[in-house]
Amino acid sequence: MQDIIRRILTARVYDVAVETPLDPLPRLSARLGRRVLLKREDLQPVFSFKIRGAYNFISALSPEALARGVLCASAGNHAQGVAMAAQRRGAKAVIVMPVTTPAIKVSAVQALGGEVVLHGDSFDEAFAEARRIEARTGAVFIHPFDDPDVIAGQGTVGLEILRRHSAPIAAIFVPIGGGGLAAGVAAIVRFLRPEVRVIGVEPVDAPTMHAALKAGEVVTLDQVGLFADGVAVRRAGDHTFRLCRELLDEIVLVDTDAICAAVKDVFEDARAAPEPSGALALAGLKAWVAANPGVAAGGDLIAINSGANLNFDRLRHVAERAELGEGTEGLFAVTLPDRREDYLAFLGLLDGRSVTAFNYRWSGDGTARIVVGVALKTGAAERAGVAAAVRAAGYGLEDLSDDETAKLHVRHMIGGRASGLPHERIFRFQFPERPGAFIRFMSALQPLWNLTLFHYRNHGDDVGRVLAGVDAPPADHAALTAALDALGYPYVDETDNPAARMFLRGG
């Protein structure tokens, strides 16, 4: 403990790193009833805290060691830190990265002068390859987390928090992969402000340190989830395990949806876009507050945003899952008679709540099976109330809000070719994004025209984009066109669209 504190207090990081701010998150603070601040390590030159540990390690190397070059294995952020630190010290850097590493991180390492070697599907495979290169070349290996100088460099994050924030702190939330940041922050906080809780946060599908603490020793997980790739580590470090075991108050586990919701929280309050592992600590903070109402209410809560190296493509998944993660959307499978009056009755049971998704395909057996998203304000209790009201009306309902298969796949697969619909017409609409739009649409259709397809998902636009099918005989086509024109929703007839013809119209 004395050794790691000495190393933190004498760490050399500011040749390349900057002292990052503690930004308040006013909207989230108002929601939680607690003052929440975010430590902005995403503002480092490499957009991650990893530059601290990497440079602290390299700055201690002798000229002879620097001449041999440095080497590391990393999923991305440590790689950029090593590449920048080596560039500043005039050393060659070889970086071994898993082939699954986001392209933004690979190109960033190359831009900093690092030689990238892509190897394996996971950090562990990249790590083993880096060790083989070390044995062959004599380059100095820089461990991403399990080294005293690396831990000390990361510990300067905690030192800055305490220096900038002299007011009472209830807890500091730290993301954990291998544990370098958590070990360093916990060490300096315990030394200077022992009354402050230090709480680690891990993804529920990558509970590396949590599993080690539970077992009483470092363990190797069979596999870890890759969504939060910055913390996708199967085995914690030996040094970091010993420090975390002694110094952490607890570890909180959060799922992908909670991480996505935290990304949205950061964006809304700070106009920043953290990577999933960067938002991990804030997701844990929210989960901890929900599980511990009123605990240590006298102090502020601080989460460390560890990085912002986010692949742009990842935003699609984040946006899709954020509402589920923050409890503002429920996803249900509803079964009801395939009749107009039952659709209207079902929508009435939602009591004015906005429909965020509505996916249906005609089956021909007189039963409609719908996947529907519903906007919520108060989370799980309100979700349960909606489900109870629908069931009480005699309709079947399954709550799919926590069903990974439904959220990832099934909700997007409602459709397909339906036989027995020789007169089906397919239309693409722009619905106004307001309650009652679907009811107006249903009311515009004549009773003999069956709704055969409806696909809608709220994407945050000013209009709702809908694909709908209507079964109307040729003699009614003019009347159907007149009814849709009178409805006033912009639409395009896509009946002869090649995609509709190949994948939707069954004839």
Q: Are residues 135 and 184 in the same domain?
A: no
369 within 8 A of 360, measured Cβ to Cβ = yes
**pLDDT tens readout for residues 443-476:** 899 888 989 999 998 776 667 889 999 999 999 9
Q: Are residues 115 and 257 in the same domain?
A: no
Which tokens in the block code for residue 283? 């997701």
Q: Are residues 339 and 417 in the same domain?
A: yes
Q: Are residues 153 and 297 in the same domain?
A: yes
Beta-bridge partner residues of 491: 429
150 within 8 A of 12, measured Cβ to Cβ = no
CATH number of the domain to which 416 belongs: 3.40.1020.10
Q: Are residues 184 and 267 in the same domain?
A: yes
Catalytic, 29? Answer no
Q: Are residues 54 and 16 in the same domain?
A: no
Most confidently modeled range among 196-210, 295-309, 455-469: 196-210
User: What pLDDT is attached to residue 264?
Assistant: 95
Q: Are residues 366 and 490 in the same domain?
A: yes
**b/e map 312-323, b = 16+ CB within 10 Å:** eebeeebebbbb
Which tokens in the block code for residue 399? 């709550």
User: What pLDDT is attached to residue 418?
Assistant: 85
384 within 8 A of 485, measured Cβ to Cβ = no
Q: Are residues 330 and 315 in the same domain?
A: no
CATH number of the domain to which 113 belongs: 3.40.50.1100
Q: Are residues 392 and 413 in the same domain?
A: yes
Catalytic residue among 39, 50, 105, 264: 50
Q: Give me the percent of the chain exceeding a pLDDT of 90.
A: 73
Q: Are residues 164 and 35 in the same domain?
A: yes
- Last residue of a domain, which of 124, 141, 158? 141
**pLDDT tens readout for residues 215-247:** 999 999 998 988 898 898 899 999 999 999 999
Tell me the pTM.
Answer: 0.83
179 within 8 A of 247, measured Cβ to Cβ = no
Q: Per-residue DSSP letters for 27-59?
A: HHHHHHTS-EEEEEGGGSTTSBTHHHHHHHHHH
Amino acid at 319: A
416 within 8 A of 504, measured Cβ to Cβ = yes
- Last residue of a domain, which of 273, 288, 322? 322
User: What pLDDT is attached to residue 507?
Assistant: 53
Q: Are residues 256 and 365 in the same domain?
A: no
Q: Which domain holds residue 495?
A: 324-503
User: What pLDDT is attached to residue 315?
Assistant: 85
Catalytic, 50? Answer yes
Taking the C-alpha atoms of residue 498 and residue 56, their distance in angstroms, rounded to an integer, is: 60
Taking the C-alpha atoms of residue 181 and residue 174, their distance in angstroms, rounded to an integer, is: 7
**pLDDT tens readout for residues 365-387:** 999 999 999 999 888 899 999 99
- Last residue of a domain, which of 276, 296, 322? 322
Q: Are residues 487 and 499 in the same domain?
A: yes
Q: How many residues are recorded in the chain?
A: 507
For the chain, give the mean pLDDT.
Answer: 92
* Domains: count for the chain: 3
Catalytic residue among 48, 74, 277, 306: 306
